[in-house]
Structure 1
Amino acid sequence: MDKKVSAAPQFQDLIDAIKRNGISRQQWENILCVNKSIVLFIDQDRRTMLHHTAFHGRTSLIELLVQQDVELNSYNKNGETPLFVAVVQDKVAAVEALLKAGADPEVRNQYGETLLHVACNSKTGILELLLKHCDCYIDAANAEEQTPLHYAVMLEREDAVETLLNFGANVNVADAKGRMPLHMASSRGLLKTLNLLLSHGAYVNACDNHDKIPLHYAVQFGHMSLVQALVQQGAKINAIDMDGIGDTPLEVAIDASRLDIVLSLLQQGALQKETLLLVSDVAYPGRSPAELNEEYQDILAQYQEVGNPTRADVLWEVEQLLIAGKSIDNGESQEFKNVMFKLMLCEQKDFLHSMRENQQVRMSESA
């Protein structure tokens, strides 16, 4: 039978009664006995009586409607079935009743989301309940190629992450932007989730579509504890991305004005000699020794002119300044580029140090 869009006051009255839970099971049985056609009506948003009962979690009415042989998998205007609505609203009893009645657990909404995607935000155990019915969809991707595990991380639901991993979710699936769950945990500062993902085999050096590894994300968003954890787990401390001119985590930290992370990365081995050959090319592409020499002399003059005690903390390997002069004479432009790059970092670190001191002064003045 074709469903009809209802304009009948009786239908709206019943919907209001569902909201209030103002009619007993016996009264519902009497209503359905007198007028069975009400189960066929839909509202202007294409919601059936079953959609409304699922939304409000009226389990007894769901059971009565199922006995009337209603359509279990009809879609509202948002492409959601009654079961989907029950999951979104976190109505675990309604979900159980609909699954028991035979509702399809593998449906998707208009965004390509499965029940598992939306269940990641459940606080009533719906996710685990659904996994027992449709675990084959555990790695199903939405329109953005994100799996339920991506969702669980984005929603910062560590419990959902753990549940999905325990049921066998693939920890190394990339979304449309090449981001794996570990990238997302790194950007959000979720240390426990990050460790959980790593313990289940997450690739610590997985690259997104811009060749950013999780360490780039942790540095960019200033999450020191995650930076340290990723490096300890084997993250490539001098990995170069391709976003813009190509940045190492150290360069990202400098751009983000994070002196603490800059120092931490340096202490953990950033900018070893073999790496300098790469990053200096990034910093000074296509520059002639003559051009570099002019800039070098300007920087060196500034260092000689201004005595700053804080430079003792930030200007490491000062003897390289002397090597630079010899490198110019010998035509060793690559070594000279390396020295220039170190000088650039020193200037940045002095600037950052001054910023931090000024901030501390302002805080003490306002206290």
Structure 2
Amino acid sequence: MNENIMLNIAIAFSLLFAMSFCSSFQKTQCAGVTVDQAYRDSTATALVRAAVKGKTSEVERLVKAGADPNYLEEGSVPMLIWTLCAQNKKGYEALLKMGADPNLGGTGEGFAGTGFIGNAYMRRSRSLIEKGWSATVLAAAIEDPFYLRLALQYGGNVNAIKGDSPSHRPLLQAAHEGLFDNVKILLAAGADINTHDNQYDYYTAPVQAILSYDRFDIVAYLLEQGYNHDLESLRRYSNRATNQEMEPYREKVIQMLTDRGIEYKYQHLLDKF
């Protein structure tokens, strides 16, 4: 009798786990749609389903049978971005190994089912996937550097602009989200430290780092690494109050800019607050 009870309990837990897994998979969303709505093509759907589940052998089998890891339709996003939305490292790496292009951008846009962009303390509950983004751009905005390192290993372009906004480039995304490790990784891989937009002066790495989370530590690092574009604009954006943790770095930035001939005319007024 006791054995039957234990068996029934084990079966119940197994069914509950299976139902929970299926429910979680069905809720996998990216760019405003579920995984079953990702593509109209059945072969592409089978491949992306395998990838977001992390079924590496199935990904390999499907690609060898003719499935395209770079398949796109109007209004869709690349399969690599689907694995980023699902935060599935195995599926992400499997697609890259089978030829997925980390520089490929799509025309889909919208929210993912969960929040995974940015640092854990400030992360929004649902992450927005922008039109045109490549896996490299999106990976630069994700806190875990695994995704960015792998994208670069497989040919990710550290200087590409992917999308409609000047901010849609890897270094600016990393700086905007305050992801120091990703900033360092991108610079080491050859990202243009002075990347900027000719029309709007706030589309630079240091200014993005300031405007989002007051990351003056990142700004100081960029200056140390040779950033020298439009230092006068950087002076204007750095001439602001910040939190106690970042204040020493802000003071360091001010000193570094002063040493380069940039004058802070009204700094004495700010110091009173």
Q: In which range does the TM-score fall when normalised by the shorter chain? A: 0.5 to 0.7
Residue number among 181, 205, 208 corresponding to 1:225 in the alignment: 181
Change (3 A) 1:186 1:259: same
State the distance in 1 between where 2:62 and 2:249 align.
59
SS at match of 2:172: helix
**Displacement, 1:264?**
1.2
Contact in 2 for aligned 1:150/1:180 (Cα 8 Å): yes
CA distance in 2 between counterparts of 1:317 and 1:122 reads: 49
- The Cα RMSD (Å) is 3.9
1:150 aligns with 2:81: yes
The 1:118–1:258 alpha-carbon spacing in structure 2 relative to 1, beyond 3 Å, is same
2:256 is matched with which residue?
316
Per-residue Cα deviation, 1:273-319 (whole angstroms, up to 9, x for no partner): xx23xx647988xxxxxxxxxxxxxx9xxxxxxxx999863422546
**Residue 187 of structure 1: how far off its partner (Å):** 0.7
Number of the residue aligned with 1:121:
52
The 5 A counterparts of 1:139-288 are 139-176=70-107, 177-208=131-162, 209-212=164-167, 213-241=169-197, 246-256=202-212, 257-271=214-228, 275-276=229-230, 280=232
TM-score between the two structures when normalised by the length of structure 1: 0.47
User: How far apart are 1:188 and its partner, in Å?
Assistant: 1.0
> Structure 1, residues 26-49: CA drift from partner, whole Å, max 9, x if none?
xxxxxxxxxxxxxxxxxxxxxxxx
Distance 1:175 1:187, change over 3 A: same
Which of 39, 50, 53 does residue 112 from structure 1 map onto? 39
- Specify the structure having the higher radius of gyration (Cα): 1
Q: Is the 8 A contact 2:206 2:234 kept in 1?
A: no
Aligned residue identity for 2:97: N
Alignment length, in residue pairs?
Answer: 202
**Cα shift at 1:144:** 3.3
Q: Is the 8 A contact 2:54 2:90 kept in 1?
A: no
Match of 1:38 in 2: none
CA distances 1:63-116 after superposition (whole Å, capped 9, x unpaired): xxxxxxxxxxxxxxxxxxxxxx9xx67xxxxxxxxxxxxxxxxxx954426222
- CA shift, 1:223, in A, is 0.9
Distance verdict in 2 for CA 1:281–1:254, change over 3 Å: closer
Sort the Cα spacing of 1:228 and 1:127 in 2 relative to 1 into closer, same or farther, 3 A.
Answer: same
Query: Percent identity at matched positions?
Result: 24
Report the residue type matching 1:227 in the other structure. V
Q: Following the alignment from structure 2 to structure 1, what is the Cα–Cα distance between the partners of residues 55 and 259?
A: 63
Q: Would the alpha carbon gap of residues 243 and 132 (structure 1) be closer, same or farther in structure 2, given more than 3 Å must change?
A: farther
Residue pair 1:154, 1:184 contacting (<8 A) in 2 also: no
Q: Following the alignment from structure 2 to structure 1, what is the Cα–Cα distance between the partners of residues 47 and 179?
A: 29
Distance 1:142 1:159 in 2: 24
What amino acid is the match of 2:102?
Answer: V
Cα distance, 1:222–1:309 mapped onto 2, change above 3 Å: closer
Deviation per residue, 1:179-208 (Å, 9 max, x gap): 111111111123122111111111110112
What is the one-letter code of the residue matched to 1:211?
P
Distance 2:80 2:154 in 1: 12
| Residue segments in structure 2 that go unaligned for 5+ positions in a row | 1-10, 12-17, 27-34, 108-130, 240-246
Structure 1, unpaired ranges of 5+? 1-19, 21-54, 57-84, 90-107, 285-298, 300-307, 322-338, 356-367
1:310-359 superposed Cα distances (whole Å, 9 cap, x missing partner)? 986342254666xxxxxxxxxxxxxxxxx35xx39x96xx88xx99xxxx
Displacement of 1:232: 0.9
Which residue in the other structure is 1:130 paired with?
A: 62
